[in-house]
Amino acid sequence: MGKKLTEAQREQILEAGIAAFAEHGLHGAGMAAIARDAHISVGVLYKYYADKEDFFQACLRHSLSALEEALAAVTAREDKLLRYAAGIIRALGDFCRDHPSHIRMYHQITTASGDRARALAEEIEAVTARLYTAYIAEAQAQGDLRRDMDPRFFAFFFDNLLMMLQFSCCCDYYRARMALYEGEGPWNPERMEEELLKFLESAFTWERTDIVHRDER
């Protein structure tokens, strides 16, 4: 009987899988190529995972666990919404820098359809959906945010911005798209955070009755 894989070896296998799924998608990634990249035999891979679907689910859980760990320090503390948002943006930026293949795998997942799309969305998005909605509703109840908004929709818009920011850091199409707006210079996470927080501050704090349009003066 072969030696049991160490935790480090299992993590290496999962990272090889994430890189393959990020590049080729679930159907295009091959278990033999993943085993080769992880420096193990296909037999060892199938010893620990029943099939490619089982291995994909393990890769997804590993990625979500890493992301939750990266966000834990930010989401665990109570703070004003914009400081909370700044912490999340910074943590996601660090995660994108350290784990770009995780974000590219996530991007591949968003092309799923039907029941699989619903199941994946519920597994990946449900926690942050509840977290952001509750946080925004609480801040609104405290009087820190505009009163004329629905926390559920604003949580959805907030999460959309964060999703696109991650794709813009790691996915070629979205990088090129961002360059159309930002220019071709080097990635500047501090400037991105600063400008996004300005955008959020206006969205979350200005009530419609406070906004004066030129033709209303």
Homologous superfamily in CATH for domain 60-205: Tetracycline Repressor, domain 2 (1.10.357.10)
Cα–Cα distance, 188 to 190 (Å, whole number):
6
3-state helix, strand, coil in the chain (%, to 5): 80, 0, 20
Cβ pair 145, 205 in contact under 8 A: yes
- The mean pLDDT value of the chain amounts to 90
Q: What is the DSSP letter of 51?
A: S
Answer for the pair 169, 97: CB distance below 8 angstroms, yes or no.
Answer: yes
Percent of the chain scored above 90 by pLDDT?
A: 71
- Condensed to tens digits (0 to 9), the pLDDT of residues 123-174 reads 899 888 998 999 999 999 999 899 999 999 999 999 999 999 999 999 999 9
Domain ranges of the chain: 60-205
What's the predicted TM-score (pTM) here? Answer: 0.89
Note whether 120 and 112 are within 8 A (CB): yes
- Separation between Cα atoms, residue 152 and residue 95, nearest integer Å: 25
Q: Which SS3 state, helix, strand or coil, does residue 183 take?
A: coil
Q: Tell me: the pLDDT tens digits for 53-63?
A: 999 999 999 99
Q: Looking at 4-8, 74-78, 156-160, 175-179, which range is the least confident one?
A: 74-78
Q: What is the pLDDT of residue 1?
A: 44
pLDDT class for 182, splitting at 50, 70, 90?
A: confident
